[in-house]
């Protein structure tokens, strides 16, 4: 039980330097990358071979349109803003998650989640939780790759990875799972607690000391706090709320994300996918639509995204959480203006990102792109600017970023603030 | 305005309107499944009261969550079982887009095996099969009534016809055997049960509209002209009507029209999604994947009178 000696204080406690408008962040990670011209930046006058086959529909913002695939989000443009000139790294790479933009990036750079986690800390729940669907491919770059976790902050700031399926059945890391017949209430029995700790200790003894400490402390804090543990129980939600998100792993993961934010988790990353990971080769793996782009968007991706993300915004607003919760939806990249010989769109740096809540001014469409949505006609927004904007909104100012050694010299996306 | 000023007088007219409307929608749908899992591509087995459809495998906390399985439902008892065995492929296998020839002898479907796409055609009577490899990307198969011809989408945008079971046919990659038709931007083909025509969707002219072409590639005709998508068209068993999905009202709904594009009738009307229509063999009902309360299930709808 020597490992318990260091458990009296919060594992990652840190007092925010100042309060920001956002007390929490939900990052919706649409890995691969949504085709900007088929979703949030339609170009009906693009040349043949580039032009989206989907009709445009007006948003609630005068003069601005989405494609017909996103009617619910279009009707909520008064709740969100779109940055149409986001310039990321045109390849599979989690570097945008840490604000980096190219191959010279630092592999030990902490991700946005780690930065926010270090800024806020939490007393009970892990400060950075990443939610993925079961069966997520081992090739998913957002799971454990450089720039996706704590980096040089240490593994204490890695995301706490959990799985959520379409039934909202949650798969916690094994060291967090209660044994058969156990409940948070029973864990108040110290003898039971000791037995579980010993079991958990055996699980983690083979791992690095820092990892051991992180896992052990998280397990202790969560398993001993019934209310915190119940944040993972989506069945506590009203059926009406669960239905509104859609019974996909993506929809239910968004709902779980809202519950975790409500319980005090400062950064939740919801990773796209639903129960059809392998539906299409090279395309079902997130939003990497090299093949069959249009069928995939119409039959599968956009209906689920439109429903789930709209429900999240409504739910946060209904609960009075939208003003204090920053929601960002983004991918690794955008897609090529030209339609490939496989009926798909390939990798491209220019993309659209969605922002809502947490101090973001809604109803704004930022940046102009050319007639194919391939080139930015106004100043591009970089990954560093995304990170700096997140930091400012959560109250991590330039001095704080300097002390952390992150996002130094970064600029905010002023039109959002 | 009269309704608001004289509500009592308006009641009989409202009742009449409700009754007429109810007749137009031809009754409540019958729910065939209730598990809520993501579904697509239902098709009736010719000559049998059996429904084949694709369904997302229940994704649990470990293993290969999220693969699509092809299921068979017998009616009217609604017993569901696996149609195609799960197989032993490493990384799992997803099957979708099942097509059946009119005589039930040949099936064709798209698969993803260990993240690599394939299309498979099987002659169930003679135990023969053809596996079409990953390049070029092929999907959305549809079979002629006798199972001797296959139409499909190649490279995501080109319709192709192929004579099956020829001795010299190695696989679909033999482009010399292809018989392309239509124009770039064509998708979702479906053979008419009489074998004379193929209906499909294309964005060649504007947004997604429905077209029909003779089975020999001649006589192309545009059938719809509406704002929004008209997709997933399916011929009725007598080849005289076409069911399809459209978002012309801002939401995915199922409609029926005559095979010449006339006499449009709306089948579903719900703020959630209705998609993937398939005809019951009696020609009087459609089975549709309807999203209700966020769940995807199969529902059977009456087809409105012509």
- The interface predicted TM-score (ipTM) is 0.84
List pLDDT tens digits, range B167-178: 665 555 556 666
CB contact under 8 A, B294 and A243: yes
Q: Is residue A222's pLDDT more than 50?
A: yes
Q: Of B62, B157, B231, which is closest to A134 when you measure between CB atoms? A: B62
Q: Give domain status of residue B54, yes or no.
A: yes
Q: How many CA atoms lie within 13 A of A187 on its CB side?
A: 21
pLDDT at A249: 84
- Does residue B76 have a cis bond before it (omega within 30 degrees)? yes
A31-54: average pLDDT: 94
**DSSP for residue A361:** P
pTM, 2 dp: 0.86
b/e code B188-198 from CB counts within 10 Å (16+ = b): bbbbbbebbbb
Q: Give domain status of residue B22, yes or no.
A: no
> CA-CA distance, B66 to A44, in Å (whole number)?
34
Q: Give domain status of residue B1, yes or no.
A: no
Band the pLDDT of A8: cuts 50, 70, 90: very low
Determine the 3-state secondary structure of A255 from DSSP. Answer: helix
Going from N- to C-terminal start, the domains of chain A cover 2-170+240-416, 173-231
Which regions in chain B score pLDDT beneath 70? 1-27, 58-66, 86-92, 114-115, 134-136, 167-178, 182
Q: Give domain status of residue B140, yes or no.
A: yes
pLDDT at A1: 29
CB within 8 Å of chain A, chain B residues 141-180: 153, 155-157
Q: Give domain status of residue B19, yes or no.
A: no
Q: Is residue A90's pLDDT more than 60?
A: yes
CB contact under 8 A, A247 and B295: yes
pLDDT at B145: 96
Tell me which residue range forms the domain holding B49. Answer: 28-302
Q: Give domain status of residue B221, yes or no.
A: yes
CB within 8 Å of chain A, chain B residues 11-30: none
- Which chain A residues contact residue B210 at CB under 8 A? none
Looking at the structure of chain B, the number of domains it has is: 1
A285-293: average pLDDT: 82
Region label for B166, one of left (φ > 0), alpha (ψ between -120 and 50) or beta (otherwise): beta
> How far off is chain B from A110, nearest CA to CA, in Å?
28
**For the sheet containing B128-132, what is the strand order?**
B93-100, B106-113, B116-123, B128-132
Q: Does domain A2-170+240-416 have CATH number 3.40.720?
A: yes
List pLDDT tens digits, range A362-411: 999 999 999 999 999 999 999 999 999 999 999 999 999 999 999 988 89
Q: What chain B residue is nearest to A75 in terms of C-alpha separation?
A: B250
| Weakest-pLDDT range from A158-162, A274-278, B272-276, B302-306 | A274-278
Using CB atoms within 10 Å of the CB of residue A42, give its burial: 0 to 12 exposed, 13 to 18 middle, 19+ buried.
Answer: buried
Residue B54: which CATH number? 2.120.10.30
């Amino acid at each position: 039980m020597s490992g318990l000696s260091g458990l009296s204080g919060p594992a990652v406690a840190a007092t925010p330097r100042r309060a920001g408008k956002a007390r929490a962040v939900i990052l919706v990670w649409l890995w691969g990358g949504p085709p900007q011209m088929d979703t949030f930046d339609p170009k009906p006058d693009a040349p043949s071979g580039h032009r989206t086959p989907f009709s445009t529909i007006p948003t609630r913002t005068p003069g601005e349109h989405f494609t017909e695939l996103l009617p619910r989000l279009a009707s909520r443009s008064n709740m969100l803003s779109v940055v149409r000139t986001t310039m990321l790294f045109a390849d599979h790479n989690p570097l945008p998650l840490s604000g980096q933009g190219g191959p010279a990036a630092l592999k030990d750079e902490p991700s946005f989640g780690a930065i926010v986690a270090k800024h806020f800390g939490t007393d009970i729940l892990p400060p950075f939780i990443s939610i993925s669907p079961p069966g997520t491919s081992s090739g998913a770059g957002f799971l454990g790759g450089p720039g996706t976790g704590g980096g040089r902050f240490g593994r204490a700031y890695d995301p706490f990875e959990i799985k959520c399926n379409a039934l909202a059945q949650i798969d916690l890391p094994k060291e967090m799972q209660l044994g058969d017949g156990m409940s948070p209430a029973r864990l108040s029995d110290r003898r039971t607690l000791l037995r579980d700790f010993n079991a958990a200790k055996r699980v983690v003894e083979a791992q690095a000391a820092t990892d051991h400490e992180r896992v052990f402390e998280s397990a202790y804090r969560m398993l001993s706090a019934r209310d915190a543990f119940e944040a993972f129980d989506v069945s506590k939600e009203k059926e009406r709320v669960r239905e509104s998100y859609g019974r996909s792993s993506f929809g239910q993961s968004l709902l779980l994300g809202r519950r975790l934010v409500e319980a005090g988790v400062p950064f939740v990353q919801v990773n796209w996918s639903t129960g059809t990971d392998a539906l299409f080769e090279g395309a079902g793996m997130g939003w990497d639509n090299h093949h069959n782009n249009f069928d995939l968007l119409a039959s599968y991706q956009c209906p689920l995204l439109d429903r789930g993300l709209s429900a999240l915004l409504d739910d946060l607003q209904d609960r009075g959480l939208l003003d204090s919760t920053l929601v960002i939806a983004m991918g690794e990249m955008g897609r090529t203006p030209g339609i490939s010989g496989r009926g798909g769109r390939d990798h491209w740096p220019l993309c659209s990102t969605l922002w809502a809540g947490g101090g973001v001014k809604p109803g704004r469409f930022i940046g102009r792109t050319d007639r194919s949505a391939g080139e930015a006609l106004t100043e591009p927004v970089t990954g560093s600017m995304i990170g700096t904007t997140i930091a400012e909104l959560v109250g991590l100012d330039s001095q704080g970023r300097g002390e952390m050694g992150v996002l130094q010299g970064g600029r905010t996306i002023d039109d959002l603030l | 305005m009269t309704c608001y000023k004289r509500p009592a007088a308006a009641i009989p007219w409202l009742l009449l309107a409700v009754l007429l409307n109810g007749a137009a929608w031809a009754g409540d749908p019958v729910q065939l499944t209730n598990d809520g899992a993501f579904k697509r591509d239902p098709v009736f087995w010719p000559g049998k009261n059996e429904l084949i459809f694709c369904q997302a495998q229940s994704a649990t906390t470990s293993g290969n969550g999220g693969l699509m399985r092809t299921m068979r439902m017998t009616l009217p008892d609604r017993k569901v079982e696996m149609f195609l065995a799960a197989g032993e492929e490493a990384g799992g296998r997803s099957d979708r887009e099942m097509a059946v020839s009119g005589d039930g002898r040949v099936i064709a479907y798209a698969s993803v095996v260990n993240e690599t796409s394939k299309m498979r055609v099987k002659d169930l009577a003679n135990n023969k099969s053809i596996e079409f490899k990953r390049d070029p990307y092929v999907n959305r198969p549809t079979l002629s009534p006798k199972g001797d011809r296959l139409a499909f989408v190649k490279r995501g945008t080109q319709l192709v016809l192929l004579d099956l079971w020829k001795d010299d046919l190695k696989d679909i990659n033999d482009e010399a055997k292809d018989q392309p038709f239509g124009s770039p931007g064509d998708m979702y083909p479906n053979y008419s049960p009489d074998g004379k025509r193929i209906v499909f969707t294309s964005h060649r002219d504007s947004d997604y509209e429905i077209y029909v072409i003779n089975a020999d590639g001649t006589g192309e005709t545009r059938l719809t002209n509406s704002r929004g998508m008209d997709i997933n068209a399916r011929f009725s068993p007598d080849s005289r009507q076409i069911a399809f999905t459209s978002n012309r009202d801002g939401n995915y709904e199922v409609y029926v029209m005559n095979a010449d594009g006339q006499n449009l009738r709306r089948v579903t009307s719900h703020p959630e999604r209705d998609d993937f229509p398939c005809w019951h063999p009696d020609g009087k009902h459609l089975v549709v994947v309807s999203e209700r309360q966020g769940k995807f299930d199969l529902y059977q709808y009456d087809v409105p009178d012509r």
